[in-house]
Amino acid sequence: MLIGGGGFIGRALTQQFLNSDNFVITWCTARDVSKPRDNIHIVNDLLERSAHEQDTLLMEVDVVFYLASNTTPSTGATDLAHEIEINLLPFSRYLTALIRQPDLRLIYLSSGGSIYDPANPLPATESAALCAQSCYASGKIAMETFLTNAYRHRPTDLMILRPSNIYGPGQPYKISFGFIRSALQCIREGREIILWGDGKAVRDYLFIDDFTTFCHLALSLEWPDTIYNIGSGKGSSLIE
């Protein structure tokens, strides 16, 4: 099951799983997905269902990917109330339903690009210090904390992924979000690519197909830890 399956990453993951003959249940708003294929079941009212109805649906699910996020590092920079209302409150209601399922595994999509302390040496490890620079990052760290507490007695049922900057086909254009996608939009429209700062900031960029391949592997392998950074392993500056 994909919670937040109608976005860029959710659509790519859905295709990855369908290519492997998996049946996919996806939660998203109705406008996010066109007419689904036979092996996709769309659910857009899970939180409005009774606890019994939620349990009945989730009993059919082996793994849940929690992808839902309605803000970005730039849009969720300073508005704490908005971050809580639009991301943390729905998350808490989903977690309440998910934790009731004793045989359900949860894979949560966090952020490797926004939650680490900038003072950490690169590449940052999973045990590196965290330091939120925005309300978006604060929300991600808070959700990780709630998850590790909720699953403290069954840690093998939880995996937290901290991907770097994901890009690739199907990524929508959003102002001030996703440098590669924004640069391609500028080239397409014949506009100058504007770099903020000196352009020397180093970031890791991860192709969407590589990320979805890892997620597919995560379903079938035993993993010794809970938290994993996911990236290409090579940093590049904006100038490069």
**What's the pLDDT at 30?**
47
**What's the pLDDT at 130?**
97
Buried b (16+ CB within 10 A) or exposed e, 147-164: beebbeeeeebbbbbbbb
**What's the pLDDT at 50?**
93
Q: How far apart are CA 163 and CA 145, in angstroms?
A: 17
In this structure, which topology does domain 2-168+205-235 adopt according to CATH?
Rossmann fold (3.40.50)
Q: How far apart are CA 13 and CA 130, in angstroms?
A: 27
**What's the pLDDT at 116?**
95
Mean pLDDT split into 10-residue runs, the chain, 240 residues: 90 89 70 56 82 92 93 76 94 96 95 92 93 93 98 94 92 71 73 73 88 91 89 78
pTM of the model: 0.88
Buried b (16+ CB within 10 A) or exposed e, 52-86: eebeebbeeeebbbbbbbebbbebbeeeeebbbeb
**What's the pLDDT at 22?**
78
Q: How far apart are CA 124 and CA 116, in angstroms?
A: 8
